Amino acid sequence: NQPFDHRAIREQFPLLSQAHQPSICYLDTAATSQKPHSVIEAMNHYYQQGNANVHRGAYQLSAQATRDYEAVRDKVQQFIHANNRQQIIFTHGTTSAINMVAHGLTEQLNCNDIILIDGAAHHANIVPWQALAKRTGAKVMPIKLTSNGLIDQSDYDAKLAMQPKVVALAHVTNALGTVNPVQQMVSKAKAKGAITLVDGAQAIAHIAVNVAQIDCDFYAFSGHKMYGPTGVGVLYGKLAALEQLTPMLTGGEMIKTVSFQHTTYGELPNRLEAGTPPIAEVIGLGAAIDFIRSQDSEHIKHHEQQLVCYLQQQLSLLSNIELYGVELTDINSTAMPNNSRHNIGAVAFNIKGEHHQDVGILLDQQGIAVRCGHHCAMPLMTHLGLKGCCRASVGMYSNHDDIDRFITALKEVINILV
């Protein structure tokens, strides 16, 4: 690994490099991360030098494209510590990965079943389960939240006692950046016989994910939130769990034999990858993994944690700011918090009495990019008594200047609005 040189890291991201004018204060990494040169170049290289379809050509170019595509499966396997490359299914993102599971379980659920969902979940981890419930007659049950938006673990235990068929959790929530103790929660769910899915969209770029340790049946994430391209994601699954899924997409690539009388499906992972896959995007994802792995992960983690703490501290010094999903003790503690309550990547807030969209527009006028809205987590917003909020989020390229610039701009917004 290279020694930690923050400036050099930032220079690898064209949109954030010093050469890019006007300079953007990008604090919306939780929505999508910026992409380093290496990812953009890997995709360009494929289109310019290696473009061919995978898994079918009799010629060199296609064989090479297939090798490059399949090599990324090995990279992902190592990156998340899966046991077997067949456990890695390429999807179009987290949303399509969760839909693949929810659709795939249709034949395994009935009207007596309960689907237990994280009360702070992203809509992508709610709506597919509601659709599954509609198809099967099963019941969706949200896990209650504490007043500051964390999962209420006693409610979780109480609902697990009802023996849900499925438990769907976020690893890190997108709206608040709060972390769930997923390993412990999955272990409890498994003890009750539940099928477990962890939405890792907001975790994958920030923490070392070990699916074997978490021991969930399914883990989903998107390439674009981990310095890779849009249009690609991953569904990890235990082999038996993947094998039991009814494919959501059927067609070419996923079959063994086809006749007009009868079709047999192929083996994993092809069975769940019908049609031409997003080849360039998978190759870009591979470059993103190489990029992340070429950095010192401990330094990155420490750097991001410091930024989030600094962001929380600076926001808490402003009198008109309401912060969500944080404990005040976390903010005031000088020690680096590393308990499960520590926020990862994102901080959510409002200016008291002001509309989040107004704040977003006024920040944008000063070159600050944050996300304002319900963050695809309307039930969580309702729980917090909010229509929406602002969220500032960081990546490995973010720095203290970004936070200072943001805080200065926010003070200006407070002066205008309050």
**Contact pick of 170, 268, 309, 347 for ligand PMP (by CB under 6 A):** 170
Q: Are 380 and 117 in contact (CB under 8 A)?
A: no
- Cβ 314 to ligand PMP, closest distance in Å? 24
Q: Is 24 exposed, middle or buried (0-12, 13-18, 19+ CB in 10 A)?
A: middle
- Cβ 228 to ligand PMP, closest distance in Å? 11
Q: Is 29 in the site for ligand PMP (CB under 6 A)?
A: no
Rounded Cα gap, residues 322 and 249, in angstroms: 44
Nearer to ligand PMP, 140 or 407 (CB): 140
Cis ω before 22 (30° cut-off from 0)? yes
Q: Are 322 and 227 in contact (CB under 8 A)?
A: no
Distance spanning both ends of the chain, measured CA to CA: 48
Nearer to ligand PMP, 12 or 202 (CB): 202
25 is catalytic: no
Nearer to ligand PMP, 280 or 409 (CB): 280
- Site size for ligand PMP, by CB under 6 A? 14
Question: 3-state DSSP helix/strand/coil percent for the chain, to nearest 5?
Answer: 45, 15, 40
Which residues from 206-235 bind ligand PMP, rule CB under 6 A?
A: 222, 224
Among the listed residues 216, 309, 372, 376, the single catalytic one is: 376
Rounded Cα gap, residues 370 and 360, in angstroms: 7
Which segment (121-129, 143-151, 265-273, 391-399) binds ligand PMP by CB under 6 A?
Answer: 121-129
Which segment (2-10, 118-126, 325-333, 381-389) binds ligand PMP by CB under 6 A?
Answer: 118-126
> Mask of contacts with ligand PMP, 372-411, x by CB under 6 A?
----x-----------------------------------
Nearer to ligand PMP, 73 or 206 (CB): 206
Which residues from 187-206 bind ligand PMP, rule CB under 6 A?
A: 199, 201-202
- In 365-418, which residue ranges form alpha helices assigned H by DSSP? 378-384, 400-417
Write the secondary structure of 264-291 as one string of H (helix), E (strand) and C (coil).
EECCCCHHHCCCCCCHHHHHHHHHHHHH
For 117, phi and psi rounded to 5 degrees? -125, 140
- Cβ 207 to ligand PMP, closest distance in Å? 13
Residue with tokens 């990324």: 72
- Cβ 325 to ligand PMP, closest distance in Å? 13
- Cβ 202 to ligand PMP, closest distance in Å? 5
| Alpha carbon 365 to its chain's center | 28
- In 46-171, which residue ranges form alpha helices assigned H by DSSP? 60-80, 94-104, 127-136, 153-160
**Contact pick of 27, 124, 285, 392 for ligand PMP (by CB under 6 A):** 124
- Cβ 137 to ligand PMP, closest distance in Å? 26
Crossing angle of the two packed helices 400-417 and 356-364, in degrees rounded to 10: 120
Cis ω before 379 (30° cut-off from 0)? no
Cα 364 to Cα 6, 193, 413: the distances in Å are 25, 48, 10
- Cβ 220 to ligand PMP, closest distance in Å? 8
- Cβ 120 to ligand PMP, closest distance in Å? 9
Rounded Cα gap, residues 214 and 313, in angstroms: 31
> Mask of contacts with ligand PMP, 322-361, x by CB under 6 A?
----------------------------------------
Q: Is 174 in the site for ligand PMP (CB under 6 A)?
A: yes
Nearer to ligand PMP, 351 or 380 (CB): 380
Nearer to ligand PMP, 224 or 271 (CB): 224
Rounded Cα gap, residues 333 and 335, in angstroms: 5
Nearer to ligand PMP, 271 or 391 (CB): 391
Neighbours of 74 (CB within 10 A): 12
Which residues from 58-117 bind ligand PMP, rule CB under 6 A?
A: 93-95
Nearer to ligand PMP, 105 or 226 (CB): 226
Instruction: List contacts with ligand PMP (CB under 6 A).
Output: 93-95, 122, 124-125, 170, 174, 199, 201-202, 222, 224, 376
Q: Which residues are catalytic?
A: 376
